[in-house]
Amino acid sequence: MVVQDYQSREVLMVAYANQQAVDETGRTGYATFWKTSENRMWTKGETSGDLLRVKEILTDCDQDALVYKVESLGDAICHTKRSTCFYRRVSGAKLEYLKK
């Protein structure tokens, strides 16, 4: 699943959500995901306070991927305390590696 800022359309993060997490998101209105490494649900911001209020959910044509369009209720999206998880640009040698 892709998480996108509702107003700016900036991609904020990518996470996994199973049906249980999607249902919890619908029930609470806050972005909830499935943490595969711990085999449990987690609501973004449950410990940091940086909650994501879901404004809209989109699905693709195959209905096998989702986009949560959200309003951030905190300062940070990423665990690095940045406003997005996508803050690193790929270029040069790294880009060549990706082409292989």
Read off the pLDDT of residues 46-67 as tens digits, 9 standing for 90 and up.
988 899 999 999 999 999 999 9
Q: Which residues pair with 32 in a beta bridge?
A: 43
Q: What single DSSP character describes residue 77?
A: S
The CA distance from 54 to 5, in Å, is 10
Q: Across the chain, what does the average pLDDT equal?
A: 90
List the one residue out of 48, 47, 9, 39 whose CA is nearest residue 21: 39
67, 4 contact by CB (below 8 A)? yes
**What per-residue confidence (pLDDT) applies to 91?**
73
Residue 8, judged by CB atoms within 10 A of its CB (0-12, 13-18, 19+), counts as exposed
Cross-strand partners of 55:
none
The token pair that represents 11 in the structure block:
């991609």
Q: Is the pTM of this model over 0.85?
A: no
pLDDT at 14 over 70: yes
Name all domains of the chain by residue range, CATH numbers in brackets: 2-99 (3.10.20.810)
* pLDDT value of residue 82: 87
Residue 30 carries which DSSP code?
B
